[in-house]
Structure 1
């Protein structure tokens, strides 16, 4: 028996060794990769076509550059998600995001179409910045929604449907320096945030009530407007509670006054109806357009504070004219003018105001012009008033107080280039032809070149160059508007909405350059030639218009690029293609390889309405390389199209 055991002993040892090796070679269930987690996160979203390039076979990041749309990268690692303006719906799967190998530092889903309660963002304890504004969320925010988010510095919840009170966990964030909850239905008292250096703070247009905490008394009053029941510094002082019989007496007195005024107006109108001079009075006043909306400034100017300031001779409550070649008028004249709403942009609303004299003006109301003090603003405005160029919309006057910032310029008849390219035209009206578009490009280039020369120390001489800021006069000559305002604007808001800050260099490195305005010019040229609205205006770091042009000219007939509504193009295709190449050179993703404004301006000035030899290339040229070799042989004009 002992002999038999010794005989089998080597085999037993071998069997044991095999079992150990087998157990060691059997892998434990592997944790999902970041790519797999992000794809799982995407599956919880709907209408996610903007994330079609999310592919597990492609690395998430390449240095500071993202390979997947909407990702923010740093040193090859995932830093944050910027899923803005993508039309996303569905559910924000925070649970899946919390399993990523490294904590997200930033999450933005602004300008999408989600519904329901705020996502459980507290599970993302490493967040530094959270942007949920304009995304369709609603309901009460749980009191512990931000519990444990000790690194959080920025919280943007504006323009949703949040109600109830601000959560106590938000008040306890010691590092918080940017908070925007404007435009919700939040109520109750504003919590007593501790004293700190707020960079952004906005409680406006909610249902807050009661006394503003003393720790916030030095914040700009615009942060609290639109809450009728708020009081205390920096707003009006809180009134002591009234006894019931005093309240009743006041109400009855007010009712009697209103009845008296109504009776007076009734008799006055009846008397005017019998007056033989009624027609002459109407003729004297002129046919003013229908009043769609009065300036909010009207209410400010009618306040007791306004008249107190007028008695003290406060010059800050008056218009400041920066040009001597315009008819002067008083602030009251502007307030009495009819005001038609022209549009509402990211920086405020624009109105067409017609004075009693018949002069038509555009008043741009800025909500986020608070980056400099009063003296610096006056100096910069005076400098803008000294500018003179046929392709710049002149600044006529401005108005500046803590409550209101207005820029006043001439009204331009034909509206913006954006409305001409993308708006609905009356029946029978033709689209912009090639000669007109070429004239517009040359005018824009000349205006931009002038700004580069006049503001050599500004990184962004224009800063907000896009088709809606190119106005067209009666002869369809372009006038640049909203230029050279970057030094005056709220930096955070500017970074979110200005055209220059959607450039590749700012998207990847948070840094603009002297060539950034040239990138905006390139996008504008491609928009003008293709008739397509650039998503660059909406999303930061997007270059899909340039990418689409590149793909078409590489794979299809080049003529497919051009806007079908661009008539008058016979024997001009060669020049159109030259301009197309100029546009691509101007919006090259690499700022080092991108043309500067001098190169772009020189090449644009060389363009003509018709090809030099008068030959119609489109009759037989169907290949980009052949076409470019025929009309673009200049070595200085060479460039590479990135795949």
Structure 2
């Protein structure tokens, strides 16, 4: 996870003829969809029109009108799949103004809209005009007023509605309980009034209505949920809260009788389903001699309903060891509860990031246990044995500043790597996002702590992966994730041996170094150069020019960026980020770290520091040069 912070090809063999039929139909639909020609620049025009209605649109100034949103180097915040715009993820950017639904309605495949943690005001947008929308995230803004009763009417694809921490008033709209496949609803931190309606969904596992002005008895279906989900509503009563006036809490016998009846019904249904499944499996067994059928995830905001063609040839199967069997995940840690691809496909999930090189999904396989599934597309030339040999090495890495790998999956066309989820964003989002809005303190002590952790993690990779010229190779602020104590963890490390050679130069940060620009090679000091760039970014709050651009970006661009900072320092200008704060004593230490940054990203390899020297100098730096 990582720095400032938001998808995957999940695959499993089908378990029945019914699934086979469904998947074939779905695959044909996808093929027909992909084959549909795209004409004009409708999506570009629509997004630029949407942008024009915003305040602080400079936050997305790199939406280039001369390119298309889903071309190489996709527009930041735009989620693309199969060359189409599927969603927007514009969070922590300080955006305001109007959400132009007229413009967004010109995006026919719009699946997700997320503008969390911004400055939007006024009534809720008319999202009914986005008929394919599956997820809407409007939390932590300044939306207000009553939501019309029919605000969500007819939105049968809508699964997630997150409106928390705004100023909505009035009743909970009656169109919400009628959404057929709603799985997540967060209304907490508003001013909703009246009664909680009786939701019709079969299963609504993720709901929060805390801290509103709701009243009256809760529907019986909520009696087993945590009372925290309804706390802060003085007028609410009934299980799981206090009993309403004139009623008593359900007695154990009543609950037991009701539970017994449900258990009997569930057993009957389960027995019927088992018999039916057994019959289907027997019928399918004879038809499944030569080929295995597999599913693949088709990215959307839900990340639950992915389908793509997948056929495994005999040559792809392992011959020497029983590992990476088709449809099986390979776990590299013994301390984790095992699951399989079918668990991933049915788990609650959310798109974190979607790009040409990788896509990331947050997945909840078991209750309360969150993982990140990372799908890599440009690794098709690495063989199965070579892939697993390298993954075994990665799986042995254990360090408090390195995100540990949990499991992996091999498929010739793409690979899956599965990690634990760390829920405090990445370093880039904290540096360049609108963190002041959420009252975040991101001062000098925190930034020094992060740099020290990054340096320790990088030194560990150097020590444990000595055969790799660049043991990380992809070090940048968005690949440093933070936990809630702001301890950094490195991610997307040691990927170079797995990436197709023709893409390495375009994708990996190491290949934007001056030595590659001048000499056409990387060295053991290249990752140190990336560390230096990261130090300067943290201290100045300035985003490194062209650092994330995809393509043949010359190292001179970043050298010039470093020299500009050095020039300001020599002229006596204060180059430090004002939001970092600090006293005259701490600024002495800041300047020491600035010198470390210059030493790490020196253009001359002979002058540039080694990782050992860099870590030693960083460890010497304190929060202040004045003893308390």
**With structure 1 as the length reference, what TM-score do the two structures score?**
0.50
Query: Could you tell me which residue of structure 2 aligns to residue 299 of structure 1?
Result: 307
> Is 1:551 aligned to residue 556 of structure 2?
no
- Structure 2 counterpart of 1:347, from 357, 362, 366: 357
Q: Over residues 392-440 of structure 1, what are the superposed CA-to-partner deviations in whole Å (9 max), with x where a residue is unaligned?
A: 0001111111243111101111110000000122525144111111111
Of 573, 576, 594, the match for 1:562: 576
Task: Give the match for residue 583 of structure 1.
Answer: 597
Question: Aligned partners of 1:593, 1:271: CA distance in 2, in Å?
Answer: 65
Query: Aligned pair in 2 of structure 1 residues 342, 278: CA closer, same or farther (>3 Å)?
Result: farther
**Aligned pairs, how many?**
353
RMSD: 3.8
CA separation in 2, counterparts of 1:270 and 1:522? 55
Q: Distance in 2 between matches of 1:521 and 1:409?
A: 23
* Partner-residue secondary structure (3-state), 1:572: helix
Superposed displacement of residue 574, structure 1: 1.0
Aligned-pair CA distance for 1:520: 0.1
CA contact (8 A) 1:297 1:404 kept: no
Distance 2:200 2:473 in 1: 55
Aligned partner of 1:279 among 207, 211, 221: 221
Q: 1:529 to 1:384 in 2, by over 3 A?
A: same
Indicate the residue corresponding to 1:373 in structure 2.
383
> What does the per-residue CA deviation read over 1:586-642, in whole Å, with 9 as the maximum and x for residues that have no partner?
00011121111011011111111110567xxxxxxxxxxxxxxxxxxxxxxxxxxxx
- Structure-2 residue corresponding to 1:537: 548
Q: Find out whether 1:330 has 2:346 as its counterpart.
A: no
Gaps of 5+ in 2: 1-61, 75-81, 85-179, 182-198, 204-218, 230-298
Which secondary structure does the structure 2 equivalent of 1:316 belong to?
Answer: coil
Residue 345 of structure 1 deviates from its aligned partner by: 4.0
Matches within 5 A, 1:604-643: 604-612=618-626
User: Following TM superposition, by how much is the alpha carbon of 1:375 offset from its aligned partner in structure 2, in angstroms?
Assistant: 0.3
CA distance change for structure 1 residues 280 and 428 in 2, over 3 Å: closer, same or farther?
A: closer
Is 1:521 the counterpart of 2:521? The answer is no
1:445 is matched with 455
Distance change >3 Å, CA 320–CA 294, structure 1 → 2: farther
For 2:487 and 2:583, locate their aligned partners in 1 and report how far apart those are by CA, in whole Å.
19
* Post-superposition CA distance 1:482-507 (Å, at most 9, x none): 01110001122221121111100111
1 CA distance for matches of 2:201 and 2:302?
27
Q: Which residue of 2 aligns with 1:417?
A: 427
Quick one: distance in 1 between partners of 2:362 and 2:584? 39
Q: After superposition, give the CA deviation of every residue in 1:148-202 in whole Å (9 maximum; x if it has no partner).
A: xxxxxxxxx9689xxxxxxxxxxxxxxxxxxxxx959xxxxxxxxxxxxxxxxxx
Partner of 1:12: none
Partner of 1:101: none
**Deviation of 1:569 (Å):** 4.0
Instruction: Flag the structure with larger Rg.
Output: 1
2:469 aligned with 1:459, yes or no? yes
8 Å contact kept, 2:381–2:412: no
Shift of the 569–438 alpha-carbon distance from structure 1 to 2, 3 Å rule, reads farther
In the TM superposition, 1:217-228 aligns within 5 A as none
Contact preservation (8 Å) 1:470, 1:480: yes
> How far did 1:299 drift?
1.3
Deviations 1:346-401 (A, max 9, x none): 52211111124221111111111234210010111111111110000001111111
5 Å matches for 1:480-495?
480-495=490-505
- Does the 8 A contact of 1:505 with 1:589 survive in 2? yes
Q: Match of 2:370?
A: 360
> Contact between 2:408 and 2:416, CA under 8 Å: does it hold in 1?
yes
Secondary structure of 2:418's aligned partner: strand
Change (3 A) 1:442 1:304: closer
Distance 1:467 1:159 in 2: 18
Alpha-carbon displacement from aligned partner over 1:455-478 (angstroms, at most 9, x marks no partner): 111100000001000000111000
**Partners of 2:382 and 2:577 in 1: CA distance:** 43
Provide the rounded CA distance (Å) in 1 between the counterparts of 2:201 and 2:548: 55
* Alignment match of 1:506 (pick from 499, 504, 516): 516
SS in 1 for 2:578: coil
Quote the Cα distance in structure 1 between the aligned partners of 2:339 and 2:428: 31
CA distance in 1: counterparts of 2:73 and 2:626, whole angstroms: 55
SS state of the match for residue 565, structure 1?
A: helix
Q: What CA distance in whole angstroms lies between the structure 2 residues aligned with 1:570 and 1:486? A: 43
Structure possessing the higher relative contact order (Cα contacts under 8 Å, 6 or more residues apart): 2
* 1:42-191 alignment runs, 5 A limit: 113=64, 135=67, 183=83
- Closer, same or farther: CA 569–408 of 1 in aligned 2, 3 Å: farther
For residues 430 and 73 of structure 2, the distance between their equivalents in structure 1, rounded to whole angstroms, comes to 30
> Counterpart of 1:595 in 2: which secondary structure?
coil
Q: Displacement of 1:294 after TM fit?
A: 4.2
The equivalent residue for 2:616 is 602
Consecutive unaligned residues in structure 1, runs of 5 or more: 1-110, 116-134, 139-156, 161-181, 185-264, 615-643
Aligned-partner Cα distance in 2 for 1:272–1:137: 38
Tell me, in whole angstroms, the C-alpha distance in 2 between the residues paired with 1:413 and 1:270.
31
Query: SS at the partner of 2:359?
Result: strand
CA shift for structure 1 position 540:
3.3
Contact (CA 8 Å) 2:303, 2:351: kept in 1 or not?
no
Quote the residue 1:434 is aligned against: 444
After superposition, what is the alpha-carbon deviation per residue over 1:524-551, rounded to whole angstroms, capped at 9, x for unaligned? 0000000001113334312233112111
**8 Å CA contact 1:346, 1:497 repeated in 2:** no
2-structure distance, mates of 1:473, 1:448: 18
Matched, 1:572 2:586: yes
Shift in CA distance, 569/332, structure 1 to aligned 2, threshold 3 Å: farther
Q: Residues 605 and 305 of structure 1: is their aligned pair in 2 closer, same or farther, counting only changes over 3 Å?
A: closer
Paired with 1:561 and 1:500, the residues of 2 have a C-alpha distance of 25
